[in-house]
Structure 1
C-alpha cells in the first residue's frame, strides 16, 4: 500500500510568517514526488495561508496541485482559482461552502458531514457533475440543518456522537475532546430523527 498524494496542514501553534509558510511547503514538496495538497484551516492553526503565498507555491513547485480551503472568507476562496489557475484543485473544507465551491469551479469537498451521510454528500457532487444544478442546490439546503448540528461543538465530538446514535461506533472520544453536552446531545438526536437516521441502525434509514 502507498499514498496517492499528501494532504499537508498549515503549521499550527508557532504562527509562521507567509515567507515561513512558503519555505515550509516548498521543502515538503521538494522532498517527495507525490502530489501535495495544502490544507488551509486558519480557525485551528491561527494563521492563514494567503492566496499570494499559495500562488507562489503553485508557480515554484510542480507537485503542489491543490488546496483544501477551510477559510470561511469566501472572497479568499474565490481568489484561489483566479491566482493559481483554473486547473488547480480547490476542495472545500467548510460544509456550508461545498456547493458554492463547486459552482465557482472547485474540484470537490472534504466533508465531516460525509461521515454521517456519505450517500447524500456524494449525491450533491454527482448531481452537480451531471449538470443537475437545481438538484445540487436542493441537497445543499437539505443538508444545512445537519451541517449546523454536527458543528454545535468542536468537531469531531458531535460527529462521533451522531455515529454512535446510528449504531456505527461506540460513544467514546479521547481527551482533551469530550462528547457534547446533554443539551446538545438532544439537539443532535432530534436532528438525526428528522433525517430518519436513528432508524438507520436498524437498516431502515437513508443517508
Structure 2
C-alpha cells in the first residue's frame, strides 16, 4: 500500500516527471564527465580566458551556465554543443528507468495529465521518448529554457510552464524528481514533491529538504497509480 502522502500526490490531476533519473539515465552510455570535458575544450577554443572558470566541474550543465556568464554568444555555442551531446547520449542510454514506463502507462490509464520537466534539452527528451515508443504517454515536454540557464530548476519556471500547458494550476500537480533541485523547484512552485531516492544517500537528503514523500523505485509510483 502506498503511503498516504504518496497516494495524495498520485491522486492529483497533473504529474510532472523529471527526466534524468526518473525516466532515463541520460549519461549512462556517454558519461557526463566526458561530455563536460568536450564542452570545456570548446570553451577554451572559443574564449581561452574562460577556461579557468569551467575547469573544476564535471557537470555539462554547469559548463553551459558558466559559459553564458562569460557571454551570450559563447553560452549559445556551448548550449548547441550540449544539446547535440544530450541527443547522442540518450541514443546509447539503454532502457528507461525500471518502473518508468509502467508509471507513465498507469498515469495515462487513470486519466492523469503528464509532463516531463527537465534541465536537459527538450530535444533529447523527445528523442528518447520516441526511440522507446513511449512518447504517447506524455502530454508535454518542458526542457531547459534556451538561452536562459538561470531559469533551470531549482527555479520554478519550468514547473509553472508545464502546469500551464496541462491546463492546470501548479498546485494541482505533483513533481517526481531525483535531485535536490527538483525538491527546491517544487517547493518554490507550490507543488507536492515525491523524491525518487535512486541512491541510498539521497533518502536522508530528501528528508532534510522536505520532500512530501520518498520512493526508492519508480515501480512504487506505478503501484500507487493503479486503481
TM-score clears 0.5? no
Higher-Rg structure is: 1
More helix by share: 2
TM (normalized to structure 1)? 0.32
TM (normalized to structure 2)? 0.29
